[in-house]
């Protein structure tokens, strides 16, 4: 019986060290709470604003020489800063003219391929950003695409 009683006794130093460690952890949590919260907040990426500027009713004749073909399309420009809306609005005519010029240079055989869409979206994005003299447009999306 004496062996069982000896096993049940816990050294008082072990209890004091455990309580001391718990108090230390509690104090550290209180002291470093704000820096830890700030650090964790910085790990989460900020949600960026995504905006779209639509260009609708674009009709162009295609560059085919022997026959007449046309393209009717709607597209939207994606950008991520509401401050750029005014820049896009003030250059809307020039942007639309650039889009029309790019699309008019294409033939029916070019626009009827799957690869065309991504290539021309990239071309429009690059030319519009060049026109605006800064990188504002992050993506171009065709929302309607009809050719004949």
Say what the pLDDT of residue 7 is.
60
Indicate the pTM of the whole model.
Answer: 0.67
**pLDDT grade for 53, boundaries at 50, 70 and 90:** very high
- Can you tell me the mean pLDDT for 56-73? 91
Segments making up each domain of the chain, as ranges: 12-43, 50-147
CATH code linked to domain 50-147: 3.30.479.30
User: Does residue 36 have a pLDDT over 70?
Assistant: no
- Can you tell me the mean pLDDT for 11-31? 82
Give percent of the chain above pLDDT 90. Answer: 48
Candidate from 47-51, 68-72, 100-104, 130-134 with smallest mean pLDDT: 47-51
Closest to 122 measured CA to CA, from 102, 96, 94: 102
Say what the pLDDT of residue 142 is.
92
Give me the helices (H) in 32-61, please: 33-43
Higher model confidence: residue 93 or residue 43? 93
Q: What is the chain's Cα-based Rg? A: 32
Report in angstroms the alpha-carbon separations of 41 from 38, 50, 93.
5, 21, 42
């Amino acid at each position: 019986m004496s062996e069982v009683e000896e096993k049940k006794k816990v050294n008082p130093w072990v209890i004091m060290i455990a309580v001391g460690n718990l108090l230390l952890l509690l104090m550290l949590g209180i002291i470093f709470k704000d820096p830890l919260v700030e650090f964790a907040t910085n790990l989460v990426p900020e949600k960026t604003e995504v905006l779209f500027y639509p260009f609708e009713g674009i009709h162009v004749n295609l560059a085919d020489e022997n026959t007449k073909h046309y393209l009717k399309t709607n597209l939207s420009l994606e950008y991520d800063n509401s401050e750029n809306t005014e820049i896009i609005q003030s250059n809307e005519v020039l942007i639309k003219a650039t889009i029309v010029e790019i699309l008019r240079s294409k033939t029916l055989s070019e626009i009827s391929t799957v690869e065309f869409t991504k290539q021309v979206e990239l071309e429009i994005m690059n030319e519009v950003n060049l026109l605006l003299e800064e990188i504002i447009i992050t993506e171009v999306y065709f929302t309607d695409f009809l050719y004949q």
